[in-house]
Amino acid sequence: MPCDYGSRHPNTIQHLTAEEQDNLGFDMGKTIYVRRIALGDSPDAIKVRDVVQAAHNDRTYQRICSAVKKGSPPKGIPAPFSKVYGELCVTDNILLKGDKIVMPDAEFFPGSGNIRRHVIDTAHDGHPGISSMKRRLRSRVWFPGMDQEITATVEGCLPCQVSTPKIQRDPLVPSTPPEEPWQNLGPTIGAQLQMGNISWLSLTCSPNTLKSQ
Ligand SMILES: [Zn+2]
């Protein structure tokens, strides 16, 4: 089978500065990893250096990275991570789950707010709706409870709710109580019964009617 020449002979990125490499989403090593979280064309897209900084500020994340790098068993690792421990690897101090970046649970600079929140807010730009947000984020990042946070964000957003079509149900309208016995009579649907040569019609009346007899 012919192999893909391009994938085995990637263009070098040596002509780019470190800043340019980071902005384009390449690492500085020989192996090229596209690690940029380019959430559309948003100017607020998260950069690799932001993830690295947030990772540095998240002690649990550091502990998991260290365990994965050493190949230690997932003893003492929080459950959401221990469940996917076999899928985790580390590159440049960033934890990956398969080909998705595991987002740290910390700020990436003082006052920036949690980077997970920032990722969700960025994907929420333009109010794309819950399905689109989940699809967009699931293809790039992972962290425990991500789906629930996306759902809560959309459910708490008025523009998203207004633009989301919902199944409309007619309101329940109670019937008016009868004023005298046998006022309301009607056959039960499909209640015409037959047994041998005898046939009869089943009738219903409201509980109020029976009570007033
Ligand atoms: Zn919204």
Local confidence pLDDT in tens for the 213 residues of the chain: 444 444 444 455 556 666 666 655 555 454 445 455 544 445 567 888 889 999 999 999 999 999 999 998 888 899 999 999 999 999 888 899 998 999 999 999 999 999 999 999 999 999 998 999 999 899 889 999 999 999 999 999 999 988 776 656 666 777 777 787 777 665 555 455 566 666 655 555 555 444 444
Residue at 3 is within a domain: yes
Q: How far is the CA of 129 from the centre of ligand 1 (A)?
A: 7
- Name the token pair of 208: 């109020």
Residue at 143 is within a domain: yes
Looking at residue 113, which CATH number applies to its domain? 1.10.340.70
Nearest to 142 by CA among 100, 104, 87: 100
Check residue 65 and give its pLDDT: 94
Check residue 20 and give its pLDDT: 65
The answer on 53 and 131 residing in a single domain is yes
The answer on 61 and 135 residing in a single domain is yes
Please give the torsion angle defined by the CA atoms of residues 134, 145, 124 and 108, in that order, rounded to the nearest 10 degrees. Answer: -130
The answer on 79 and 30 residing in a single domain is no
Ligand 1 is an ion; its neighbours by CB within 5 Å are 127, 157, 159-160
The answer on 98 and 128 residing in a single domain is yes
Domain of residue 19 covers: 1-34
Check residue 199 and give its pLDDT: 65
CA distance 51 to 25: 12
The answer on 96 and 14 residing in a single domain is no
Check residue 167 and give its pLDDT: 57
Check residue 105 and give its pLDDT: 97
Residue at 100 is within a domain: yes
CA distance 123 to 7: 30
Check residue 172 and give its pLDDT: 76
Please give the torsion angle defined by the CA atoms of residues 172, 178, 181 and 187, in that order, rounded to the nearest 10 degrees. Answer: -40
Q: How far is the CA of 132 from the centre of ligand 1 (A)?
A: 11
Q: How far is the CA of 169 from the centre of ligand 1 (A)?
A: 24
The answer on 54 and 30 residing in a single domain is no
CA distance 120 to 157: 13
Residue at 87 is within a domain: yes
Residue linked to tokens 């969700």: 120
Residue at 205 is within a domain: no
Residue at 154 is within a domain: yes
The answer on 112 and 15 residing in a single domain is no
Residue at 186 is within a domain: no
Residue 66: Cβ within 10 Å count: 12
The SS3 call for residue 165 is: coil
Q: How far is the CA of 123 from the centre of ligand 1 (A)?
A: 10
Residue at 201 is within a domain: no
The answer on 137 and 75 residing in a single domain is yes
Q: What is the pTM of this model?
A: 0.62
Check residue 147 and give its pLDDT: 95
The answer on 127 and 87 residing in a single domain is yes
The answer on 103 and 55 residing in a single domain is yes
Q: How far is the CA of 73 from the centre of ligand 1 (A)?
A: 41
* Number of domains observed in the structure of the chain: 2
